[in-house]
Amino acid sequence: MMSYTNIKEEAYIANMRLPKLNLVLFTFGNVSAADRAKGVFAIKPSGVPYEDLTPEKMVIVDFEGNTVEGNLRPSSDTQTHAVLYKNWSDISGIVHTHSTYATAWAQAQLPIPIFGTTHADHLTVDIPCAPPMNDEMIKGNYEYETGFQIINHFKNLELSHKEVEMILVGNHAPFTWGKSAEKAVYNSAVLEAVAQMALLTQQINPSAPRLKDSLIQKHFERKHGAGAYYGQE
Amino acid sequence: MMSYTNIKEEAYIANMRLPKLNLVLFTFGNVSAADRAKGVFAIKPSGVPYEDLTPEKMVIVDFEGNTVEGNLRPSSDTQTHAVLYKNWSDISGIVHTHSTYATAWAQAQLPIPIFGTTHADHLTVDIPCAPPMNDEMIKGNYEYETGFQIINHFKNLELSHKEVEMILVGNHAPFTWGKSAEKAVYNSAVLEAVAQMALLTQQINPSAPRLKDSLIQKHFERKHGAGAYYGQE
Amino acid sequence: MMSYTNIKEEAYIANMRLPKLNLVLFTFGNVSAADRAKGVFAIKPSGVPYEDLTPEKMVIVDFEGNTVEGNLRPSSDTQTHAVLYKNWSDISGIVHTHSTYATAWAQAQLPIPIFGTTHADHLTVDIPCAPPMNDEMIKGNYEYETGFQIINHFKNLELSHKEVEMILVGNHAPFTWGKSAEKAVYNSAVLEAVAQMALLTQQINPSAPRLKDSLIQKHFERKHGAGAYYGQE
Amino acid sequence: MMSYTNIKEEAYIANMRLPKLNLVLFTFGNVSAADRAKGVFAIKPSGVPYEDLTPEKMVIVDFEGNTVEGNLRPSSDTQTHAVLYKNWSDISGIVHTHSTYATAWAQAQLPIPIFGTTHADHLTVDIPCAPPMNDEMIKGNYEYETGFQIINHFKNLELSHKEVEMILVGNHAPFTWGKSAEKAVYNSAVLEAVAQMALLTQQINPSAPRLKDSLIQKHFERKHGAGAYYGQE
């Protein structure tokens, strides 16, 4: 039972950041951290308050969604995580929250327009909003289908999940991901900040223009391009 | 005087959570916890600041609204609690707050539309808003009548207080309840979060559609149906 | 120099509550506490950060606005305080802040409509908003005239400063008062909460009705009438 | 390596105030402090979390934008700071943040109207918003050109950077400055508060009038005129 210590610890730390970043109320969120070599991920147990979490309580699940280790039931959103890990082989962390502003955009069923450089520092397109699923998908394996709804929306929009690490699921709430659980949590906090700023921007100026292409490219490349010069790496 | 220790402690702990959850300013709220076997409830004394509360200061009241034990005057809303306990025999905790967003909806005299799964995880209908009482009720035993206004609105809408554990009282503020004081406090925090998200949703998209029935059923059954798979029970 | 210890202490404690209640940024606020028997009040020194305040730094000023004791310059709003104390002999505490929502209503130059019982628990009318002064008054003894602008607006609306303990000064910000500095601070926090709720109410329902008279009377009398039954006194 | 200790310490303290004042998420901000005698400034290293900052990690840069001392890469906005220091010889502190409300106004590409005395206590005109740069400037030395965009907008509006210590850069975010890093941080917090109040003012009253000239002059002179009587100096 000494196995999976690394991803349990990583998932624990990442989960504990959600309440500190004001991204969750009670248990309305979950983070997972994957070990690609072992083909599993560690995820928060379902409905356990953050103050009662420990690294040991994390549940180990494989990419088919089967529990591999752990006494507690994994997050009810586990199947969504499993589908994303299975189909997107280069991500190793996933976050789901019901953070206030991002969820409001999801409920409004609208993508978040790219209004400024805070947004462009992280992605070059509007933050996508997948439509609610059809009734058959909802009545079936709901969380499993949620994963495919996300993947299919990226295919429809011809987006790369390596360049766009976040989505709103219509009527529901956001999912974010990244190369690590820590990066996925970072993306959730960025999404919430961008979602709030975008709403305020439209309230100040209902005809505010989207960011022009040259600025979009410049800011994204500052952080992510071949000649990136943001940060210390 | 060693009696009622359990519900005094339960009511004290639940009351103290209100300021921590940012649901009250000063003394604008109260929680009660009922002991069904003894036919009484413990409730916050009126106007006492949260920092001065102790379990011993809780007032014990029966379901007719008569004080059974305690040196302090019970909350001015005590009669409303008594009426709800007397008529809804399966609840054991009640909360009243003036939390910001829920109170704004109450003042707007509108039910909160069900826009997303955060809402559907807890109830399957719009959060009801009882109309203000008629002048006769207001001039009479006001808090007692507030209890009946709540009960009658549930009857008019054919709602079950076991499935919908919250209401807005028009021009006034929210009441929530549950099987325990802790659950009732939980419901108050959920209501406040849902109320904020609903307002933001309408600001982003004034024609945002209500959640479709299949999603409403799915999310509620995840947490509350026969095959519920949220949490550890 | 041992004199005035009581009101210095009272003013100090009340001033320190402003940042804790999130009513001030930096030094954008001040509280005074009056000793009616001695005909003076203690007030915050001008521009001193809250973290550097001590009871000893409070400045003692008479009701003509003359400094009686203290090495520091008193708040730039001191003349407004002096005018109110001189003309309203039954108040012993005054607060001025630039709290966010109350100031927004003052900048909008609109009174805050009475939409709910949170408001009616404290006053039975819309929270008044005095118009900006004429240019002559502004160019003259500005803070002194601000006091008279407040008093004259109360006269014009036939309001009693004993029943309505708060006002917005158009284009500027709120002033509140009461029988003590503590009560005046309480009123500032209530005003800010009511100001936020009123804005949210109008955003949810632009045609939200004002509270009807019977409810206004009922809630105010619960707390303040001859048969008041709120609190422990 | 004992050199520049003063401005490193000053820049460190000022940078650490940004998260405490809720002006930054993660590393979305930077402060610099200049030593005019030595012709250099100390600035935050790029992408380093605030909790990992120390005075020693500050990077020393000259007014041409060349790093003079330090092992870490300076903030990606360093060239903007350099241009402003070089062209405006009487400022010794600069702050850049993506604070929520100020950034929303920048994204809306609108100046912030002067609606009240909170604004007039600090500057007598609308807070300017520079238009986004043309594509040539963006594709060139972007951060360097951002500095000139700010300077040119001040020239176009005939504003003095000594009287107006803040600007919004359209589609981007605010910059503020002052005689010290501490003053520039103060200005960033004031800007954020004024930006929020201005949005709320317009929401309450879409036709809210700008502050009249006599009040603008009075409040600014209280704090900054020849006969200023705010504060202790």
Please write the tens of the pLDDT for every residue from C51-102. Answer: 999 999 999 999 999 999 999 999 999 999 999 999 999 999 999 999 999 9
Q: Return the beta strands (E) in chain C as ranges.
A: 29-35, 40-43, 59-62, 67-69, 93-97, 129-130, 166-169, 174-178
Count of A-B CB contacts under 8 Å: 84
Instruction: Compare CB distances from A200 to D28, D100, D172 and report the shortest one's residue.
Output: D100
Alpha helices by DSSP H, listed for C90-180, are 100-108, 117-120, 135-139, 142-156
Residue found under tokens 């509360």 = B53
Quote the pLDDT of residue C120. Answer: 95
User: What are the chain C neighbours of B108 within 8 Å (beta carbons)?
Assistant: 201, 204-205, 208
pLDDT in tens, A138-162: 999 999 999 999 999 999 999 999 9
Helix (H) or strand (E) holding C126: none
Q: Is the pLDDT of residue C133 over 60?
A: yes
CB-based contacts of A19: which residues, under 8 Å, 6+ apart? A50
Instruction: Compare CB distances from C118 to B46, B47, B173 and report the shortest one's residue.
Output: B173
> Tokens in use for D162?
């000594």
Count of A-D CB contacts under 8 Å: 85
pLDDT along chain A (233 residues), means of 10: 87 97 96 98 96 96 97 96 98 98 98 97 96 92 95 98 97 98 98 98 97 88 79 75
Q: Of C53, D141, D218, B21, which Cα lies nearest the Cα of A19?
A: B21
- Å from A209 to nearest chain D CA? 8
The percentage of residues in chain A with a pLDDT greater than 70, rounded to a whole number, is 99
- CA gap D203, C196 in Å, rounded: 12
- The one-character DSSP state at C179 is S
pLDDT in tens, A67-87: 999 999 999 999 999 999 999
Instruction: Compare CB distances from D232 to C73, C110, C133 and report the shortest one's residue.
Output: C73
Q: Is the pLDDT of residue C6 over 80?
A: yes
- Å from B115 to nearest chain A CA? 6
Task: Tell me which chains share at least 3 CB pairs under 8 Å with chain A.
Answer: B, D
pLDDT in tens, A201-212: 999 999 999 999
Task: Tell me which chains share at least 3 CB pairs under 8 Å with chain B.
Answer: A, C
The percentage of residues in chain A with a pLDDT greater than 90, rounded to a whole number, is 89
Tell if the CB–CB gap between A229 and D73 is shorter than 8 Å: yes
CB-based contacts of B67: which residues, under 8 Å, 6+ apart? B59, B60, B61, B74
- CA gap C152, C144 in Å, rounded: 13
Reported confidence tier of residue C231, pLDDT bands at 50, 70, 90: confident
> Which ipTM did the prediction report?
0.95
Report how far apart the first and last C-alpha atoms of chain A are (Å, whole number). 36
Whether the CA torsion A165, A170, A174, A179 is positive or negative: it is negative
Quote the pLDDT of residue C217. Answer: 87
Quote the pLDDT of residue A220. Answer: 83
- CA gap C41, A195 in Å, rounded: 48
Active site residues of A: 121, 230
Domains assigned to chain C: 5-224 (3.40.225.10)
CB-based contacts of D122: which residues, under 8 Å, 6+ apart? D165, D187, D190, D194, D220, D223
Query: Annotated catalytic residue: which of B121, B126, B142, B144?
Result: B121
CB D167 within 8 A of CB C166: no
Cα A104-A107-A108 angle, rounded to 5 deg: 85
- Which residue of chain B has the CA closest to C214? B135
- For chain C, the residues whose C-beta falls within 8 A of a C-beta of chain D are 25-26, 28, 45-48, 72-73, 76, 98, 100-101, 103-110, 132-133, 135, 138-139, 142, 171-173, 199, 202-203
Tell if the CB–CB gap between B46 and C193 is shorter than 8 Å: no
- CA gap D61, A101 in Å, rounded: 39
Neighbours of D217 (CB within 10 A): 17
Q: Is the pLDDT of residue C125 over 70?
A: yes
Long-range Cβ pairs for the range C19-27 (8 Å, 24+): C19/C50, C21/C185, C21/C188, C21/C189, C21/C192, C22/C99, C23/C97, C23/C99, C23/C188, C23/C189, C23/C192, C24/C50, C24/C97, C24/C98, C24/C99, C25/C98, C25/D189, C25/D190, C25/D193, C26/D186, C26/D189, C26/D190
> Tokens in use for A21?
């970043």
User: What are the chain C neighbours of B203 within 8 Å (beta carbons)?
Assistant: 203
Neighbours of B54 (CB within 10 A): 9
Query: Annotated catalytic residue: which of D121, D126, D142, D144?
Result: D121
Instruction: Compare CB distances from B46 to C200, C215, C232 and report the shortest one's residue.
Output: C232
Edge to edge, the sheet with strand B67-69 lists B67-69, B59-62, B40-43, B29-35, B93-97, B174-178, B166-169, B129-130
Instruction: Compare CB distances from C232 to B72, B106, B108 and report the shortest one's residue.
Output: B72
- The one-character DSSP state at C71 is S
Q: Beta strands D166-169 and D129-130: pairing type? A: parallel
CB B181 within 8 A of CB B95: yes
- CA gap D183, D188 in Å, rounded: 9
Tell if the CB–CB gap between C25 and D193 is shorter than 8 Å: yes
The residues pairing with B34 across neighbouring beta strands, listed in sequence order, are B41
Quote the pLDDT of residue C228. Answer: 79
> Tokens in use for D137?
């400037």
Residue C101 has phi, psi (to 5 degrees) of: -75, -40
Q: Of C46, A101, A82, which Cα lies nearest the Cα of D25?
A: A101
Tell if the CB–CB gap between C232 and B76 is shorter than 8 Å: no
Whether the CA torsion C185, C189, C191, C192 is positive or negative: it is positive
- CA gap D157, C199 in Å, rounded: 34
- Which residue of chain D has the CA closest to C23? D193
Cα B131-B135-B140 angle, rounded to 5 deg: 110
Q: Which residues of chain B have pLDDT under 50?
A: 1
- The one-character DSSP state at A127 is B
Alpha carbon separation from A167 to A126, A134, A154 (Å, rounded): 10, 18, 9
User: What are the chain D neighbours of A117 within 8 Å (beta carbons)?
Assistant: 98, 171-173
Q: Is the pLDDT of residue D184 over 70?
A: yes
User: What are the chain B neighbours of A173 within 8 Å (beta carbons)?
Assistant: 116-118
CB-based contacts of C49: which residues, under 8 Å, 6+ apart? C26, C27
Chain centroid to CA D2:
28
When computed from its CA atoms, the radius of gyration of chain A, rounded to whole angstroms, is 17
Q: Which residues of B138-174 are buried (b: 16+ CB within 10 A; e: fewer)?
A: beeebbbbbbbbbbebbeeeeeebeebbbbbbbbbbb
User: What are the chain A neighbours of D76 within 8 Å (beta carbons)?
Assistant: 222, 229-230
- CA gap B214, C2 in Å, rounded: 74
Reported confidence tier of residue C221, pLDDT bands at 50, 70, 90: confident
Q: Of B190, B211, B215, which Cα lies nearest the Cα of B201?
A: B211
Q: What is the largest CA-CA distance in chain C?
A: 58
Tell if the CB–CB gap between A117 and D172 is shorter than 8 Å: yes
Chain centroid to CA D69:
24
- Which residue of chain B has the CA closest to A23? B193
For chain D, give the mean pLDDT: 95
Write out the DSSP string of B100-162: HHHHHHHHHT--B---SHHHHTT-SSPBPEEPPPPHHHHHSSHHHHHHHHHHHHHHHHT--TT
> Tokens in use for B205?
């998209």
Quote the pLDDT of residue D229. Answer: 78
Quote the pLDDT of residue D224. Answer: 80
Q: Beta strands C174-178 and C166-169: pairing type? A: antiparallel
Helix (H) or strand (E) holding A134: none
Tell if the CB–CB gap between A116 and D45 is shorter than 8 Å: no
Count of B-C CB contacts under 8 Å: 85
- Å from D220 to nearest chain C CA? 12
CB-based contacts of C66: which residues, under 8 Å, 6+ apart? none
Tell if the CB–CB gap between A232 and D46 is shorter than 8 Å: yes
Interface test with B, best of A107, A134, A192 (most B CBs within 10 A): A107
> Tokens in use for A44?
């928060």
B230 is catalytic: yes
Residue-level length of chain A: 233
Residue found under tokens 């059954």 = B221
3-state secondary structure of B43: strand
Quote the pLDDT of residue B200. Answer: 98
3-state secondary structure of C16: helix
For chain B, give the mean pLDDT: 95
Instruction: Compare CB distances from B218 to A98, A103, A142 and report the shortest one's residue.
Output: A142
